[in-house]
């Protein structure tokens, strides 16, 4: 198996307030911009699955760790990165 190494910039939700707040006084923060780098394990229509850590050699029995699934709607940019040996 071969998975491309990618850098994905995406928008995440956040919880900027703790405890009870008056709704009328809320001042929403700017969206949280995140960057994830890893191997693109799945490039789905609805989600992108990134595994920053994989076993080597990558084959049908490969395992990943730190896997994140990002909704495609949240992706701002996705860039392929060069892999050097």
- Specify the pTM: 0.84
Tokens of 69: 């699934």
8, 16, 57 from 53: Cα distances, Å: 15, 30, 12
As a whole number of Å, the CA-based R_g of the chain is 17
The stretch 42-60 carries a mean pLDDT of 90
In the prediction, which pLDDT does 36 show?
A: 97
């Amino acid at each position: 198996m071969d998975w491309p190494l990618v850098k994905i910039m995406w928008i995440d939700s956040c919880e900027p307030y703790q405890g009870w707040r008056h709704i009328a006084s809320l001042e929403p923060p700017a969206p949280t911009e995140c960057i994830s780098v890893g191997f693109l394990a799945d490039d789905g229509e609805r989600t992108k699955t990134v595994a920053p850590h994989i076993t080597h050699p990558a084959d049908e029995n490969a395992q990943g760790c730190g896997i994140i699934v990002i909704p495609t709607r949240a992706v701002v940019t996705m860039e392929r990165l060069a892999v050097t040996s």
